[in-house]
Amino acid sequence: MDKAVSRLLKAATEGEKVLVYGDYDVDGVTAATIMAETLELIGVPEVEIMLPDRFIDGYGMSKRVVSRAKEGGFSLVVTVDCGSGTGEVIKELAAAGVDVVVTDHHEMLSGVPKDAVAVVNPKREDADCGDLRELCGAGVAFYVARALVSKGAIPEGREKWLLDLAAIGTICDSMTLSGDNRIICYYGLIVLGKTARVGLSELMRVAGTKTLDSEAIGFQIGPRLNAAGRMETAELSLRLLRTKSRTEAAELARELDSLNKERRRQQNEAVSGVAETGVGDEPVIVVSGPWHEGILGIIAGRLTERYQRPAFVLTEFTEGGYKGSGRSFGEFDLSKALEAVSDDLESGGGHAVACGLRVKEGTLEAFKGHINEYYKGLGLRDQGRFLEASEDLEVEAISEFTLDFIEELALLEPFGNGNPEPVFLLPGVTIMEVRKMGADEKHLRLTVKDGLGTMMKLVAFFARPSWFEVMPGERADIWVSVMKNEWNGSVSVEGRILRIGDMKK
C-alpha cells in the first residue's frame, strides 16, 4: 500500500495521465469509479477508465490495455478488481515505459507480478491481512482512498461518500459480511440513502427500491448494474455511476432495466432447456449450449441451486473450444479445482464459489471427466447440507412475528455471506391455501396455520418443483425468513419459504 500511495501521489504532483483498468461486473465497475474519484480528489489532472469487453477480452486484464496506454500517452495504469494473474500484460506495459499499480482481491495463483510498481492485494501470501482478506475489488479501492486520507492527500471524512459504491461491490461480489466488510456495508447503506449520485437515484427509482438493505442491493440494484456487462457493455453502468445529468441518468437507468429483463428471459429459457434434457448423474454438472455468454454464470448458479451440485456452464467460442462460468458451494473450491485440471484449460480463475474459464479446443469431454475425477478424489460427503436451510430458532406461535419484531431484526443488517439472515422453523403448520403466482406460475404462495389458529402468508419466488405438490389440509415443517410486506396501504409480516419438510396428513 505504501508503494502504491507514493506512486499515485507522484502522478498527482507531476500532472500525469492515469488510466484506471477495471472489470465488467458490479465489483469492477464500482471499484473503477471509486479509484477514478480518488485520483481526482488527490489532484491527478487526467483520469480515464477502461473496462474490458466480456465478448472480446474475456476474463482478467486484456492486452488491449497496452495499446490504449501507449496511444493515449498514459504513464500509469491502475488496475482494480484484476491484475494479479496477468503478469505478461504488466510486463509489456513496463517495457513500454508505463508503470502499473495493481489493486485486486483475487487469489494469486501465479505469485506477485514482479513488473508492477505495487501490488495491493489482501490475499498476498507475504502479508497477514486478517479480515481484510475478504475485501472485494471495490473494498480494496476504498482502502487506497483511506490510505491517501491518512497521508493528508484527501480531506478527512471525504472518503465516506465512496462507501455507497464499496457496499454495492461488496454485497454483489458475495463477500463475507463480517469485520471490515460489515462496517463498509453498514455505513455504505446509510450513504446510499443520501447518495448524490443521480445515476444510483434513478436506478433505484426504476427498480422500485423502497427499503435500502442488502437484499435491495443484491436483487434490485446489482442485477441491473450487472446487466450491461452481461448483455452488451459495462460502459453503460460506468456512465450511470459517473454522470452528473439527471436526464442522462434516467435514460441509462431505463436502458439497464430493459437489459436486465432480457437477461432474465434468456436465463429462464436456458435453465428450463437444461432441465428438459437432463444434467446426468456425475457429481459435477458440466453442460454446454448456444447461450449468451453474459448469462452463463447465472445459469450455473441456478443449476447449482436446483440440483445441489457444482455446475459449469459453457458455450462454444471457437471450433471445439469452450468458455464459461462455474458455481460451487460447501467444500468444493473452484479455484483449486481449476488448478487441478489446468491441462484442459486455456485460462481460468476466480474464487472458491465462482469462476470463469476457457476450455482448450477438443478437450471438453476430457475436462468433464477430469473435473469429476478431482471431485470424487476429495471424498466429500453430504454437501447438500450447505444449501439446506437450518433453523436458528423454532417458533410455534406465529403471533410472535410482529412488526416490532421485524424492526428489531433489521438491527442485524446487513445480511449476506458470513452474516446470514435468521432462519425460523415453523413446526407442523397446516397448509390452508396453495396458490401459484406469476405469468408462468413459477412462484408459490401458501397460507399456513399454527396450532393456536394463527395464520400467516408465505411466499417462494421460483419455487422448487416439489413445493408445488403440497396440498391444503396437509401439515409440514416449513423453514422461513421473515419480512415486512406492504400492499395497498396494508402492512403485514410475511414469510419467505426456504425449505419444506415432508408432508403429513
147 plus 121 within the same structural domain: yes
The reply to whether 166 falls in a domain is no
Separation between Cα atoms, residue 68 and residue 78, nearest integer Å: 13
Enumerate residues 6+ apart whose C-beta is below 8 A from 344: 359, 360, 363, 366, 367, 370
Could you tell me whether strands 354-359 and 76-80 are parallel, antiparallel, or unpaired per DSSP bridges? unpaired
Domain membership flag for residue 172 = no
**The three cell numbers locating residue 4:** 502504491
Looking at residue 130, which CATH number applies to its domain?
3.90.1640.30
Same-domain pairing of 6 and 55: yes
Report if pTM > 0.85. yes
Query: Which domain, by its residues, includes 412?
Result: 393-500
Q: Is residue 427 domain-shared with residue 368, that is, in the same domain?
A: no
Q: Tell whether 456 is covered by a domain.
A: yes
Per-residue pLDDT of the chain (505 residues; tens, 9 = 90+): 999 999 999 999 999 999 999 999 999 999 999 999 999 999 999 999 999 988 788 767 889 999 999 999 999 999 999 999 888 999 999 999 999 999 999 888 778 999 999 999 999 988 888 889 999 999 999 999 999 999 999 999 999 999 999 999 999 998 999 999 999 999 999 999 999 999 999 999 999 998 899 999 999 999 999 999 889 899 999 999 999 999 999 999 999 999 999 999 999 999 999 999 999 999 999 999 999 988 999 999 999 988 999 999 999 988 889 999 999 999 999 999 999 999 999 988 777 888 989 999 999 999 999 999 999 999 999 888 888 889 999 999 999 999 999 999 989 999 988 899 999 999 999 999 999 998 888 899 999 999 999 999 999 988 888 899 999 999 999 999 999 888 877 889 999 999 999 877 6
Do 343 and 399 belong to one domain? no
Asked if 313 and 290 count as a contact pair (C-beta separation under 8 A), the reply is: no
Last residue in a domain, options 159, 191, 225 = 159
| Domain shared by 15 and 119, yes or no | yes
- In which residue are the cell numbers 442491493 written? 217
Amino acid letter, residue 10: K
Residue 302 and residue 279 in contact, taking contact as beta carbons nearer than 8 Å: no
Nearest to 298 by CA among 274, 273, 327: 327
Q: Both 320 and 463 in a single domain? A: no
Any domain includes 261: no
Rounded to 5°, the CA angle 119-124-125 comes to 145
How far is the CA of 331 from the CAs of 30, 41, 337, 374, 456, in angstroms? 30, 43, 11, 13, 36
SS3 label, residue 452: coil
* Predicted local distance difference test score (pLDDT) of residue 142: 98
Domain contains 224: no
Which triple of cell numbers denotes residue 111? 505469485
Contacts of 305 (CB under 8 A, 6+ apart): 387
Q: Are residues 439 and 378 in the same domain?
A: no
Residue 227 located in a structural domain: no
Domain identity same for 319 and 456: no
Asked if residues 18 and 46 have their Cβ atoms less than 8 Å apart, the reply is yes
Q: CATH number of the domain at 363, please.
A: 3.10.310.30
Q: Say yes or no: 358 and 463 in one domain.
A: no
Domain stop point among 159, 181, 196: 159
All 3 cell numbers of residue 30? 464500482
If you count them, how many residues does the chain have? Answer: 505
Choose the final residue of a domain: 386, 411, 432.
386
Question: Using CA atoms, how far apart are residues 427 and 234, in angstroms rounded to an integer?
Answer: 46
Q: How many domains does the chain have?
A: 3
Q: Which pLDDT belongs to residue 498? A: 95
Same domain, 356 and 447: no
**Dist CA 283 CA 307 (whole Å):** 10
Instruction: Please tell me whether residues 481 and 347 are part of one structural domain.
Output: no
Same domain for 374 and 413, yes or no, is no
- What's the CATH number where 485 sits? 2.40.50.460
